[in-house]
């Protein structure tokens, strides 16, 4: 009886959360933490925690497809994980190999046109893992509906250092003028994989840190971050919807802040000196509370944005 009531309550809450959401992030990055602690708390072998976590990963992909999320990056094996005991590493390598091949052959992956790629210094991985990466890459190479990036042998600092070395080498060989270095130059030198900036980082397991995960793609985009208590195998669709709600609230706050700053600038400096601020204000006007929209409309002056009449000269 208690189980049925819990499921009913969860279903009801899920529907409520879905109704509250008006937009979803394009790119979600997930730090799947807590597999070992989950197993330990239940008196099980650590390997069972990893395998149950893999079930949650499959569910996550279904949720992303259902919600129209275009890209997901999973932190599966960090550079720090190489410091774990060899037997633990082997368990993870076996599981990663198995799941990459299983996903690459799954009907639901091909029906949803999921593109699977690895992100990281994959040359450090065992040969069997590298072969599984190549297999998944080839099997899904033509797809573009949902991008699944699996971060393997990945470290944020290592990625930025490697990118810096590549850019420096191009400068040293006169292939690149230092004056021409910009965001696109650095982005092109990063690991292949992510196709867009990160909008939301989700970390399970209770720790409140991002562990240098995708620093260029996430920090540069001021991504929203949601830290949640459940261990990864316990992570539910409700938890994911709550995380997306965090993203949505952050986006609303960001737009409201931009609109208020633009309104302040236009008031302080006048119409002609603040053409850019006026454009920002017009773009984000609807993010303001109703009580503030009147002020935004009052400072708007369409005449100053009107194109000049060539005949006037």
Active site residues: 33, 81
Q: What is the dihedral of CA 36, 38, 42, 44, to 10 degrees?
A: -30
Query: Which secondary-structure segment (H or E) carries 262?
Result: helix 237-269
How far apart are alpha carbons 242 and 234 in whole angstroms? 14
203 close to 7: Cβ distance less than 8 angstroms: no
Query: What's the angle, vertex CA 150, arms to CA 78 and CA 167, rounded to 5?
Result: 70
How far apart are alpha carbons 87 and 81 in whole angstroms? 12
How far apart are alpha carbons 189 and 160 in whole angstroms? 9
Question: What are the distances in angstroms from CA 172 to CA 24, 163, 181, 183, 239?
Answer: 43, 14, 13, 19, 49
Residue with tokens 């001021």: 222
63 close to 242: Cβ distance less than 8 angstroms: no
């Amino acid at each position: 009886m208690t189980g049925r009531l819990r499921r009913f309550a969860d279903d009801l809450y899920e529907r409520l959360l879905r109704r509250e959401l008006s937009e979803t992030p394009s790119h979600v990055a997930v730090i799947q933490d807590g597999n070992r602690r989950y197993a330990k708390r239940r008196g099980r072998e650590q390997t069972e925690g990893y395998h149950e976590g893999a079930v949650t990963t499959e569910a996550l992909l279904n949720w992303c497809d259902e919600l129209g999320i275009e890209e997901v990056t999973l932190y599966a094996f960090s550079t720090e994980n190489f410091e774990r005991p060899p037997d633990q590493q082997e368990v993870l390598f076996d599981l990663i190999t198995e799941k990459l091949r299983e996903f690459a052959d799954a009907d639901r992956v091909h029906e949803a046109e999921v593109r699977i790629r690895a992100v990281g210094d994959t040359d450090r991985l065992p040969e069997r893992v590298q072969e599984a990466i190549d297999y998944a890459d080839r099997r899904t190479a033509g797809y573009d509906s949902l991008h699944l990036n699996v971060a393997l042998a990945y470290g944020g600092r290592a990625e930025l250092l490697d990118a810096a070395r590549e850019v420096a080498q191009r400068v040293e060989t006169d292939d690149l003028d230092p004056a021409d270095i910009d965001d696109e130059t650095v982005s092109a030198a990063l690991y292949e994989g992510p196709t867009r900036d990160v909008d939301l980082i989700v970390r399970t397991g209770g720790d409140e840190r991002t562990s240098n995960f995708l620093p260029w793609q996430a920090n540069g985009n001021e991504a929203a971050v949601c830290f949640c208590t459940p261990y990864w195998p316990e992570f539910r669709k409700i938890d994911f919807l709550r995380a997306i709600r965090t993203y949505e609230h952050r986006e609303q706050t960001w737009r409201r802040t931009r609109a208020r700053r633009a309104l302040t600038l236009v008031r302080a400096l006048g119409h002609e000196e603040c053409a850019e601020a006026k454009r920002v204000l017009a773009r984000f006007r609807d993010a303001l509370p109703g009580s503030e929209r009147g002020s935004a409309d009052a400072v708007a002056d369409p005449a100053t944005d009107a194109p000049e009449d060539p005949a006037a000269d």
